């Protein structure tokens, strides 16, 4: 699907979710018209804010620090090389102070993109593996996934926050029945936002892996990097941060068993590695 149409579709879906919340609140309190008008204005404001500022929120939430070439020549040179091979503008580069290896890209378009890597990634991967990971993130930028994934993560986080707020309100409110109904509906809205993320994210990860193979000609290096990252995040899953941002990372840093795995924003790492190995055999990238 055309990136512009995907973006419009995402904003329409999130607007519909907010209007649904407004409609239910209006029914509960007998002010349906005013509630719908308020939530429509709120939806427009959130859409505009998300378009321009969602990436800044993500960078701030993970304390990502924008660097220049002199601060980390190794990382900067790899990003510059991959950007050149992908025929894309040089993105800004940031380092996240986390020991667990991982990476993500954010921004509203290729000209405003930021590639972020954790300190753990720089300490864990060799140069070829690092290039493969950067190639994956550049693939997201090339296919213009970064705005869609960042906005979806931001709005899903907002719904989760509202649901938690109404949960605690229901614990202490005199109007418990309405508060709990609103909490349940907001929880469903947050779940719907997660489903939207799933629809966006899983196949985009496979596509970004393929883009990395095309850009870097090193699919086995990316496969090796994914294997290492998976090992570390399995042993030390991320506890800080918002799980709604999981779709941004190259490997989901938040872990859970049972039904949680069914709603993971990423396909199984083993399947991604298998596909990369098939690409290597098919095109003789050995």
The confidence score (pLDDT) of residue 165 equals 65
The confidence score (pLDDT) of residue 260 equals 47
* Dist CA 119 CA 232 (whole Å): 13
* Dist CA 103 CA 95 (whole Å): 9
Select from 107, 151, 160 the least CA-distant residue to 8.
Answer: 151
The confidence score (pLDDT) of residue 12 equals 80
The confidence score (pLDDT) of residue 53 equals 85
Select from 146, 165, 167, 152 the least CA-distant residue to 103.
Answer: 146
The confidence score (pLDDT) of residue 31 equals 81
The confidence score (pLDDT) of residue 167 equals 64
The confidence score (pLDDT) of residue 65 equals 96
* Dist CA 61 CA 255 (whole Å): 19
Q: Which are the catalytic amino acids?
A: 137
* Dist CA 158 CA 156 (whole Å): 5
The confidence score (pLDDT) of residue 176 equals 58
Q: Which positions of the chain have pLDDT values less than 70?
A: 1-4, 6-7, 10, 154-180, 182-183, 185-186, 189-190, 193-194, 196-201, 256-264, 285-286
Residue with tokens 């512009």: 4
């Amino acid at each position: 699907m055309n990136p512009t149409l995907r973006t419009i579709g995402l904003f329409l879906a999130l607007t519909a979710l907010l209007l649904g919340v407004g409609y239910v609140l209006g029914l509960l309190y007998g002010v349906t018209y005013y509630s719908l008008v308020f939530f429509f204005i709120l939806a427009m404001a959130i859409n505009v804010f998300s378009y321009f500022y969602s990436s800044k929120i993500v960078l701030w939430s993970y304390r990502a620090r924008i660097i220049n070439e002199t601060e980390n020549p190794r990382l900067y040179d790899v990003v510059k090389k991959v950007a050149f091979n992908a025929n894309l503008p040089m993105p800004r580069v940031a380092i996240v102070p986390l020991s667990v290896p991982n990476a993500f890209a954010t921004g509203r378009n290729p000209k405003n993109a930021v590639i972020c890597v954790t300190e753990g990634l720089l300490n864990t991967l060799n140069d070829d593996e690092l290039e493969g990971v950067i190639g994956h993130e550049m693939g997201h930028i090339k296919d213009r996934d970064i705005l869609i994934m960042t906005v979806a993560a931001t709005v899903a986080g907002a719904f989760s926050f509202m649901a938690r707020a109404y949960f605690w309100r229901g614990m202490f409110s005199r109007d418990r029945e309405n508060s709990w109904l609103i909490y349940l509906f907001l929880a469903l809205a947050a779940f719907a936002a997660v489903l939207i993320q799933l629809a966006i994210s899983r196949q985009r990860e496979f596509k970004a892996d393929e883009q990395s193979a095309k850009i870097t000609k090193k699919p086995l290096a990316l496969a090796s990097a994914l294997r290492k990252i998976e090992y570390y995040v399995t042993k030390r899953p991320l506890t800080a941060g918002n799980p709604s941002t999981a779709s941004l990372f190259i490997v989901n840093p938040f872990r859970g068993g049972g039904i949680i795995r069914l709603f993971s924003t990423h396909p199984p790492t083993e399947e991604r590695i298998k596909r990369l190995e098939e690409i290597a055999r098919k095109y003789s990238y050995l």
